[in-house]
Every structure is written in C-alpha cells, then in structure tokens.
C-alpha cells in the first residue's frame, strides 16, 4: 500500500510537468507512435521526460453485478544521456494494488536507420501489444484476441535492433527474447504447467521477473507505410518455451511455438479501419498435456475487423467515433492426440459503441458486447462497458 501511495503521489506531482502530445486513433496510422516511441522521438528537447496514461472502467455483464476498476495507471519516464543514448521505462499499477515494470530498456542509435535496444521490451506482435494507450483504440476493453491469443501486455527481456528505411517506406524490428515459462516442479512431487486451453500462452509470460531461460526466441516485425493513410504489419515469433532446471529434461516439459501475425490500419478523412489476424502453431502439446494435466491446443487462431466514423466535423478538436468490431478467436483451433476440441474455446465477440475524445489525450468510452461461443447452450453473457482514458 505504501508503494502505491508513493507512486500515485509521484504521478500527481508530475502532471504539471508533463507535456501533452497525444496520438489517437484518428491520426495518420503511418505516423502513429506508442508511449515509448514518443519518448524516444525527441524527449521534447529535455534530458528527462515524464508522461502517463491510465484507464478507469465499468463492466456490467447481463444479469450480474457490475464491476468498477482502476484498471491501470502507467507512469512513463525517459532519460536522454546524449544524442545517441536513451533510457525508457514504464511503471504500471494495475487494479490499484499490483505494481509492475512494463518496459525498461536502453536505446542506442547506431546509425540513421539502426537502433540497438536491450532490456525489458514489448514483443512486436499485432497492433495492441505495442499500441495499447487508451486513446489509440476503440472500445472500453482491448480486443479479446489481444488477451487470449496475443497475451497483451506481452513483454520480456531481450536485445535486438529496430529502425526505418523511409526511402522504402519500411520499418523493422528484430529481437532475441527469453520465452514463455511452461513447467516447473510443484514441490509436492508433481509438475505445474502454466499454459492451458482457455487462454493459450498467457499464463507463461515471465514479464522480466526472475525469468527462466534455456533457449532464445526470435521476434520480428515489418511495417509498410508506402500507401497514403495505410499501415501494414507482418509479425513473427519463433522459439521454445522455458522449463525450470528440475523438469526441463522430462518429455513434454517444453513446447515449440511458431506464431505469425498480419495487421492493417487505415484512415481517410473521418473514417478509420483496422484489422488483425494471428495464427500460432504449437508442437509437443500432447506430451505437455500428459505431463502437466492440461488441455493446451496445438493451434491458436484469431482475427478481427473494425470500422469507425467520426460523427463531428473534421476541423473540431473534439472527435466522436461510432465504431463496430467483429472478432473471432479460438484457442483450440486444433488439438493433438486424444484431446478433443473444446467448442467453448471458439469464441465470437461483436462490439459496438462510441469513443468521445473530449480533448487531445482524454477519451470517454461506451460500448455493448454481444459475446458467444460455439458450444450450444453455454450461455456466454453479453456485457455493457463504460470507461475513461487519459494519455499525456
């Protein structure tokens, strides 16, 4: 509690120092920056840069009590040592009491088109894992695909390179990361498994917390922005999970991962659109499920498409987006061995609502979600959501 009070006090004290330079969904996606990229892009002419973003939400499932939550407050800190060397960190408080380091890395500008980075960084897969500040996406909640297929916020320790070739309209990232943690001894003669059928790889994120590592994983992304208003992305992730020393030689302790992602963002006048497709193939899941008594699928797959239109005149500072998003995500797209596909894991969400940007960096959100899965009579409950988001 004392740590939270300290961080919250620091957050309030920096509001007068932070400068607003928001980047929301209505801007040209070719120029879109996330929080860390914005700090790296210039530090507003000073050595130390401070910013923040946060979300406060209300979720009301049909027929149940609602829930109010300060979902997250994130303090952004950047320091420029010289013209080539910067340090970026994000300190996150989730649900008022859980404190995490979301990012902490050094960026060194080797050449005009090459940056060397090392530390705790976001894995560049899809859109939301890199661009999840509340003013950059429609909907009170992030797309569910970016929870159970891409385990946002997905960050790990690693090292790599990034940059842009503007003459080719191409941006690139390539990193070596530690992988997901799959298994460890439970202290009672059994095995604990961190990966399961309902949310795939999510439980294996190590988040830089005393991370187990025995083999490196490769993550890459290419972004193309050569067509006006359009930004296209192609992401890859290849490697193996990491098991604790006392179980790593057991059959099924590790699984192989091959993940591909395609994403697109488009903006024209008052209209915006985006879409994403993710596919992950997992090997050795039959042995893993036997060892850990889990139901992990051998393939994960999901996609969404979204369109939005600004109902206010283009010249207004305020923006009011009406949007609709359709998404399908399945963590049992395929299974290995005798494991049957669980139809409850084949899910569909339709989300429609409004995003009201009352000022640059402040958004009010409201939406309704029609939620379903392929299991007959499962009774997934629809949900009404409201939220407030800020970013500066």
Please report, for the domain that includes residue 362, its CATH number.
Answer: 2.40.160.10
Q: Quickly count: other Cβ atoms within 10 Å of residue 59's Cβ.
A: 18
Structural domain boundaries enclosing 194: 2-391
Neighbouring residues of 51: CB distance < 8 A, sequence distance ≥ 6: 18, 19, 35, 38, 39, 75, 76, 391, 392
Neighbouring residues of 152: CB distance < 8 A, sequence distance ≥ 6: 128, 129, 132, 142, 146
Q: What is the mean pLDDT of each run of 10 residues along the chain (392 residues)?
A: 39 36 55 70 67 97 95 94 93 96 97 96 97 96 97 97 96 97 89 96 96 93 97 98 87 96 97 98 97 97 98 95 98 97 97 98 98 86 97 94
Please report the pLDDT score of residue 244 as a whole number.
86
- Distance, in Å, from the CA atom of 195 to the CA atom of 67, rounded to the nearest integer, reads 27
Number of domains comprising the chain: 1
- Distance, in Å, from the CA atom of 10 to the CA atom of 238, rounded to the nearest integer, reads 39
Please report the pLDDT score of residue 44 as a whole number.
46
**Bond before 142 cis per omega within 30 degrees:** no
Q: Are 307 and 323 in contact (CB under 8 A)?
A: yes
Q: Are 154 and 203 in contact (CB under 8 A)?
A: no
Per residue in 311-338, is it b (16+ CB within 10 Å) or e — as a string?
eeeeeeeebebebebbbbbbbbbebbee
- Distance, in Å, from the CA atom of 285 to the CA atom of 185, rounded to the nearest integer, reads 18
Least Cα distance to 331 among 384, 291, 294 occurs for 294
Please report the pLDDT score of residue 391 as a whole number.
96
- Distance, in Å, from the CA atom of 294 to the CA atom of 192, rounded to the nearest integer, reads 10
């Amino acid at each position: 509690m004392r740590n939270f009070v300290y961080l919250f006090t620091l957050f309030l004290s920096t509001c007068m120092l932070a400068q607003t330079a928001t980047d929301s969904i209505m801007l040209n996606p070719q120029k879109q920056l996330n929080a860390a990229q914005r700090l790296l892009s210039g530090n507003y002419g000073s050595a130390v840069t401070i910013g923040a973003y946060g979300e406060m939400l209300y979720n009301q499932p049909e027929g149940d009590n609602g829930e109010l939550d300060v979902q997250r407050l994130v303090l952004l800190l950047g320091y420029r040592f010289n013209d080539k060397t910067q340090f970026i960190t994000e300190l996150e408080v989730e649900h008022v009491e859980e404190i995490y380091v979301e990012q902490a890395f050094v960026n060194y500008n080797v050449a005009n088109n090459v940056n060397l980075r090392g530390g705790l960084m976001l894995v560049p897969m899809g859109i939301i894992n890199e661009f999840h500040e509340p003013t950059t996406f429609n909907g009170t909640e992030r797309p569910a695909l970016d929870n159970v297929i891409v385990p946002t916020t997905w960050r790990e320790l690693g090292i790599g390179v990034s940059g842009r070739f503007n003459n080719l309209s191409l941006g690139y990232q390539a990193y070596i990361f530690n992988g997901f943690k799959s298994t460890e001894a439970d202290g009672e003669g059994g095995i604990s498994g961190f990966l399961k059928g309902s949310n795939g790889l999510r439980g294996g994120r190590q988040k830089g917390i005393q991370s187990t590592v025995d083999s490196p994983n490769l993550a890459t992304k290419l972004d193309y922005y050569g067509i006006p208003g359009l930004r296209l992305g192609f992401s890859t992730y290849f490697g193996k999970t990491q098991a604790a020393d006392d179980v790593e030689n057991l059959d099924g302790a590790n699984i192989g991962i091959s993940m591909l992602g395609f994403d697109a963002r488009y903006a024209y006048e008052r209209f915006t659109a985006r879409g994403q497709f993710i596919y992950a193939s997992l090997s050795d899941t039959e042995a893993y499920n036997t060892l850990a008594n889990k139901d992990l699928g051998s393939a994960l797959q999901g996609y969404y498409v979204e369109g939005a239109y600004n109902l206010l005149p283009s010249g207004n500072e305020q923006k009011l987006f009406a949007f609709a998003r359709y998404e399908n995500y399945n963590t049992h797209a395929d299974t290995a061995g005798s494991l049957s596909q669980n139809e409850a894991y084949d899910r569909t969400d339709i989300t429609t609502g409004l995003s009201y940007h009352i000022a640059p960096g402040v958004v009010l959100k409201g939406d309704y979600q029609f939620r379903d899965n392929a299991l007959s009579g499962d009774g997934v409950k629809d949900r009404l959501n409201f939220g407030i988001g800020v970013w500066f």
